[in-house]
Amino acid sequence: MPFSESIAAAMDPTILLMIALATVFGAIIGALPGFSSVMAISLLLPVVYPMDPLMGLLVLGSIYMGAMYGDANAAILLNIPGTASSLPTTFDGFPMTQQGRAKEALLAALAGSVFGGAVGILVLLFTFGALAEFSLRFGPQEYFWLTVLGLTTIAALSEGNMLKGLVGGGLGIAISLIGIDPYWGMPRFTFGQSSLISGVHLIPALLGLFCVAQVLSSLASDERDRPTPEIGAQKDALAKVMKAMGRRWDVLLRSSAIGVVIGMLPGAGGPIASTISYNETRRWDRDSASFGKGRIEGVMASEVANNAMVGGSLIPMMALGIPGNVNAAVILGALMSFGMRPGMNLISDGSGVAMSFMIGLLISSILLAPLGYFLIIRVSTLVLRIPRTYLAPTILVFASVGAYSVTNSMFGVIIMAALGIGGYAFRRIGVEAAPIGLGLILGPIAEREFTSSLLIAQAQGSYLTMVFRPISLVLIALCVLSIATPLFLSLRNKRAARLGGRLSAGGEAGK
């Protein structure tokens, strides 16, 4: 499909309306403390399942874009980050609220989100083709090691605990193996239950892990001390934000680059991007001591990187089939459910869905400006006032309807409930839903490519072909590095903690 036709497809009035609605929905869900962008995407998976592929993907992508912005609102107004990605936003955002500059902080977060999101999608738009052409050099062996890389990096970076992250990833893979073996046609891990022969459906499973488990976690937390959010009046807020953006263009460019690069690294994600961006902005500022006391540059640095990461995370997902984070992994699951496979064939299939999808995401990032200014900020403030005891049952009802509609049976609801309760129990012991979800999504891909690699190796008479290929060797080295890096950092932190303890003990003894 020509580029002009891709633009026309993305500019269809119905598509634009769905993009706007999905962006607002994502921003509102993102504003709720504890309710992540992954949950927002998972909640709408059953809705987009029967849609046209372009519309379905744009709904999920726009939710992703909106949610990455929306989490800043709770961080600024309540000092409660909607997700871990917005934690650095609280450092200067909440002090600005305490100083009566809440509107300025909210508009700075909005402006940074729009700028970073647009830059990330433009990079995706102009580099996807090159990466997709490179993906033609990949065979089953390379795709298998790519999948392993995605699993190891995300699991290893899970909450700073590599062992628990790997346990979660392994558990997700084990669940994905339930059902009929795709190559040999034999049932496995069904335990005599005919309902499990078809396997565990991905959408009810994700709804359980990311919606039900999160609702249970939010109900278990105490919100009695939550303050009432107020925006307040500040007539010159917009002028101050625009002036700051013009004066500190270096912050915008540096944070955008950090967000895109970090987003491309499987497993890194928003928390790392926003934290590194904030630290680098503070490091290169002449008045670094004033950060944490209400600097608008701190809010912009965090949010620019946070949203630039969206486009970056979709680059390896669309070009290579390896998601940059869990949000991209869920979108990858939707992409595959529509019968599409990442790589060069997304461009060469003639449908133009990939190009229209990227153009639609660019539109979503730009629409975020008027939607945020006139609607999202006000609505998010109102939604933040709703007690969780009313909000949680509503989300559970929608999730149950979605799980049932996908499978047309109560079995989908049972799967959702079982994985929701199990996900909540695992979360209590430190095993997060993210690696489990990644295992569920990437497990079947890893199995398919591993089996294909074995068959090729048997035909060639050597199993060394699974390893000794140039790209495979590089990917294996990256897998080892992704596992070794957290171990090294953990040992270094423990050593620093022991040294700090000795110095502290020596100081006490000197007194």
112 vs 71: CA distance, rounded Å: 13
Residue partners of 328: CB distance under 8 A and separation at least 6: 313, 314, 316, 317
198 vs 258: CA distance, rounded Å: 42
| Residue of 260, 213, 184, 188 whose CA lies nearest to 448 | 184
- Residue 116, both tokens: 């970073």
Q: Is the pTM of this model over 0.95?
A: no
Apex CA 40: angle with CA 36 and CA 44, to 5°?
160
> 370-410: per-residue pLDDT in tens?
998 888 888 777 766 777 677 678 778 877 876 776 677 78
166 vs 164: CA distance, rounded Å: 5
> 300-346: per-residue pLDDT in tens?
999 999 899 888 888 877 877 777 677 787 888 788 778 777 766 67
> 252-299: per-residue pLDDT in tens?
999 999 888 777 765 555 667 787 788 788 877 888 778 888 899 999
Residue 481 has a pLDDT of: 78
What are the extents of the domains in the chain? 3-224+235-496
> 142-187: per-residue pLDDT in tens?
878 877 876 765 555 454 566 777 788 888 888 888 888 877 778 8
Q: Using the 8-state DSSP alphabet, how is residue 227 labeled?
A: P
509 vs 496: CA distance, rounded Å: 20
Alpha-helical segments (H) within 408-469 = 410-428, 433-460
Bridging pattern class, strands 179-180 and 187-188:
antiparallel
> How many residues can be counted in the chain?
511
Apex CA 106: angle with CA 58 and CA 83, to 5°?
60
70 vs 18: CA distance, rounded Å: 18
- Helices 269-283, 87-98: inter-axial angle, 10-degree rounding: 60
Res. 194: pLDDT tops 60 = yes
* Three-class HEC string of 60-90: HHHHHHHHHHHHHHHHHHHCCCCCHHHHHHH
Residue 159 has a pLDDT of: 47
